[in-house]
Structure 1
Amino acid sequence: MTTATDLNQPTLEHGAPAGRRLSLPVLMLVIAGALALTSLVRLITGADGITNVSQMSTALQLAVPIGLAGLGGLWAERAGVVNIGLEGMMILGTWFGAWAGFQWGPWTGVLVGIVGGCLGGLLHAIVTITFNVNHIVSGVAINILALGATRYLAPLAFEGHQGGSAKQSPPVESLGHFTVPGLSDGLVSLNDKGWFLISDIAGLLGGLVTNVSWLTLIAVALIPATWWILWRTPFGLRLRSCGENPVAAESLGVNVYKYKYLAVIISGGLAGLGGVFLSIVANPFYLEGQTSGRGYIGLAAMIFGNWMPGGLAIGAGLFGYTDSLNLRGGSANVHALLLLGALLLVAGAIWLAIRKKYVQAAVTVLVGALVFAWYASTDDVPNQVVSATPYVVTLVVLALSAQRLRMPRANGMPYRKGQGK
């Protein structure tokens, strides 16, 4: 039986086995290297759009709902509850947010949208924690239920109002945007100069301070807030212990049911906030189907981030960036990124060779050569490839990161109070 000291092992405190986590300096070096390669590709191909301010601003807007959904998944799964229902909770957030927003104002819509997501989380908690229904089955059921419920409610709530229909809400007022005066203009000017690396960094930073919604600022702040709460407070330690070893946590006096319920309800609220972002910020109205699978991509971002907030943010940013290629010069930018992909594959092959994984290195070089041949033999890519890029990147990233992942030990496992006695 696990003792109290098991709750203080490094795997619980840090969320991954010792030696598998990248240190912050190494991670920053990897990011800097990737940005330098991107800058080199921009200079070679002339595709200035891949790092300009407008591209980065769009990428941030597309990354926020994915990141919020992933953050919701992180809260639930750190407490041991798999939340496949993130998509359905986002759908509830879009509908409730727009419904309240067009009647009582956008900030009321934000609060009501969060409540809508929390209701989905509460239902998932009751079904999985109290009645021990399989977590995957419950999550899929919530996705179907949320879609059906909003389709039924939309005509009742929106038809008869100006701009409303059976599939769309009336427009909602804007929450407002902010731009950092002086700094934004300076970064845009620096980005326009086209210098190696410096202009690319300026484009990245410029997207973070130019025409940014207040809800975006809140969403970004939730990333470090989640890390601090879950990894630096007694509340967070107890919650994570429920996902690692609930029997040991119960033996130390932790009310496992309470923490699981709180985690899943918070998870639903965060997913609902992601839905609110879609129906109030990204579009000023609810539109049937506007989540477009972002709840699932958020789950993929959480897995890519190894159930850690920082990694999740990087994953959401990556998926948001690839999705933004559809909106701004997609074909030319994706063609340029083929060269970037080839260079990254070569760098990966070198790393594998250094670690004496020669077979994997050879395969990686071969794939990189094929990608480069595709780039060199074409001047464009089909629109279908552009549209599929975010989903292809999701699959590739998850496949490449699978070996270093470690989910919470008791994630998805049934638990009954007193089962360790």
Structure 2
Amino acid sequence: MIEQEIRTPAPRTGDRERRRTRMLAVGGGIFIALILLRLITGESDITSSGTMGATLALAVPIGMAALGGMWSERSGVVNIGLEGMMTFGTWGAAFASYFSGNPWLGLLGGIVAGAVGGLLHAVATVTFGVDHIVSGVALNILAPGVTRYLSDLLFTDEKGGGATQSPPLPSFPTWSVPGVGKPLGSLEKHHWILISDLAGLVRGVLTNLSPITLLGILLVPVSYYLLWHTAFGLRLRSCGENPVAAESLGVKVYRMKYAAVVVSGALAGIGGVFLAMVASSNYQEGQVNGRGYIGLAAMIFGNWRPGMVAGGAGLFGYTDALQLRGGAGAVHAMLLLIGIGLLALAVWRGYRRRVVAAAVSAVVGAGVLVWFFLTDALPREIVTYSPHITTLLVLAFAAQRLRMPAADGMRYRRGGGH
């Protein structure tokens, strides 16, 4: 009965197919553009298996934070405390795995610690009506202090541990698809157009995978199914669109919001587990390093939908991987792609008669191309912060097409009060 009242019309099969086709076309177009960029600039790391594997690995913590943010905001609770929840996750993974000697218990510890961070945010925002931004900022400030205190208390006397880091942690196994590493590696070394690039892509995403990477990939379709194809997901999303109407139809709005924010924290905690136990061999203070905020940007770029959120995480993971694997030369080569892309965007906006936006895109695009042709490399500082710069650029140019949940950030009180 409730589902019949609040269900929005399901998208037609043709609409879903067109959207899927459009996403595949965009992904294919980006990959072809990277191939052409490799041929023009000679930077082989642009499509190498090392870069593709690093992209997948670096996208996991960002993607988990973004997916967690999506769960929370679909219920109407803004969550900028993802950074703090990931910090709790890194410490929880270190504590549980070190003192148990079992990496799988480390995964559980990181999930629980992240969920505790989500619970704190839910208590503040849902029960006490604290402003969502204030609560999130407070959580981001609280997490480093709490984890430093606990590290000083529990890790200082352990071998290799201290107030700012844990002792070495047990590691997860890595898995590869049998029989693909050497043949694809041989193809990749020839640098044949398209064939070697595809070999690098496939080899990068099918070898040396951690269980956390596979879990992160699996959670994207699972989140989509739960939120868009179950009664639970329908009720949760209704709380983010119109909680007063949802309450009038019998939805337990507080319960749905609590569930969403705790799940949000747990997902961010998984990202923290990856940073402490896969990307590194121990917990370190400052390990999250802004990835929670980048995850928030990936969520916004992905328009609060799991598939596009994963694409946004992949984009930010790729820029991070490129500056780590390819260095200044590979990042410098991206200026050519960015400049051409901005000029193409200017043409499109001019066609749509958005004169000011077209002019801005054209000027910025021309400036980027001039920068590319007049320089041979980028300053080290710009290379290091290229993922953060990408975050700002993507949000600046994608902001006009976004639609957040209608009641996102609203301080809801039972009975219809705000």
TM-score normalised by length of structure 1? 0.94
Q: Give the whole-Å Cα distance in 1 for the aligned partners of 2:318 and 2:389.
A: 13
What residue in structure 2 maps to residue 204 of structure 1? 201
What residue in structure 1 maps to residue 6 of structure 2? 7
Q: Cα deviations across residues 369-403 of structure 1 (Å, max 9, x unaligned)?
A: 22111111111111111012111110110111101
What does 1:5-404 correspond to in 2, within 5 Å? 7-9=6-8, 23-104=19-100, 105-404=102-401
In structure 2, relative to structure 1, the CA distance for the partners of 1:351 and 1:202 (3 Å cut) is: farther
Classify the secondary structure of the residue corresponding to 1:54.
helix
Residue 242 of structure 1 contacts residue 260 of structure 1 at CA under 8 Å; is this kept in 2?
A: yes
In structure 2, relative to structure 1, the CA distance for the partners of 1:324 and 1:4 (3 Å cut) is: closer
In structure 2, relative to structure 1, the CA distance for the partners of 1:180 and 1:416 (3 Å cut) is: same
Q: Give the whole-Å Cα distance in 1 for the aligned partners of 2:365 and 2:252.
A: 51
**Unpaired segments ≥5 residues, structure 1:** none
Deviation at 1:341, TM superposition (A): 1.1
| One-letter amino acid matched to 1:197 | L
Q: Give the whole-Å Cα distance in 2 for the aligned partners of 1:333 and 1:310.
A: 27
Deviation at 1:147, TM superposition (A): 1.1
Deviation at 1:185, TM superposition (A): 2.8
Residue 325 of structure 1 contacts residue 386 of structure 1 at CA under 8 Å; is this kept in 2?
A: no
Q: Give the whole-Å Cα distance in 1 for the aligned partners of 2:57 and 2:30.
A: 21
Residue 3 of structure 2 contacts residue 231 of structure 2 at CA under 8 Å; is this kept in 1?
A: no
Deviation at 1:6, TM superposition (A): 7.3
Classify the secondary structure of the residue corresponding to 2:325.
coil
Q: Give the whole-Å Cα distance in 2 for the aligned partners of 1:296 and 1:67.
A: 11
Residue 4 of structure 1 contacts residue 248 of structure 1 at CA under 8 Å; is this kept in 2?
A: no
Q: Cα deviations across residues 247-297 of structure 1 (Å, max 9, x unaligned)?
A: 111111111111111001111111111111111111010000000011111
Does residue 1:416 correspond to 2:413, yes or no? yes
Residue 75 of structure 2 contacts residue 260 of structure 2 at CA under 8 Å; is this kept in 1?
A: yes
| One-letter amino acid matched to 1:357 | R
Moved more, 323-332 or 347-356: 347-356
Deviation at 1:5, TM superposition (A): 7.4
| One-letter amino acid matched to 2:252 | N
Q: Cα deviations across residues 22-61 of structure 1 (Å, max 9, x unaligned)?
A: 8121222122112111111100110001110011111111
Deviation at 1:358, TM superposition (A): 4.0
Q: How many residues align?
A: 412
Q: Give the whole-Å Cα distance in 2 for the aligned partners of 1:265 and 1:326.
A: 34
Q: Give the whole-Å Cα distance in 2 for the aligned partners of 1:41 and 1:420.
A: 55
Deviation at 1:4, TM superposition (A): 8.5
Q: Give the whole-Å Cα distance in 2 for the aligned partners of 1:266 and 1:242.
A: 15
Q: Give the whole-Å Cα distance in 1 for the aligned partners of 2:294 and 2:130.
A: 24
**Unpaired segments ≥5 residues, structure 2:** none
Q: Cα deviations across residues 71-106 of structure 1 (Å, max 9, x unaligned)?
A: 110100000101111111111110111011112111
Residue 45 of structure 2 contacts residue 322 of structure 2 at CA under 8 Å; is this kept in 1?
A: no
- The share of aligned pairs that are identical, in percent, is 56
Deviation at 1:163, TM superposition (A): 1.4
Q: Give the whole-Å Cα distance in 2 for the aligned partners of 1:342 and 1:206.
A: 30
Q: Cα deviations across residues 317-340 of structure 1 (Å, max 9, x unaligned)?
A: 111111122321310101111111
Q: Give the whole-Å Cα distance in 2 for the aligned partners of 1:225 and 1:6.
A: 25
Q: Give the whole-Å Cα distance in 1 for the aligned partners of 2:330 and 2:112.
A: 39
Q: Give the whole-Å Cα distance in 1 for the aligned partners of 2:362 and 2:28.
A: 22
Q: Give the whole-Å Cα distance in 1 for the aligned partners of 2:96 and 2:133.
A: 30
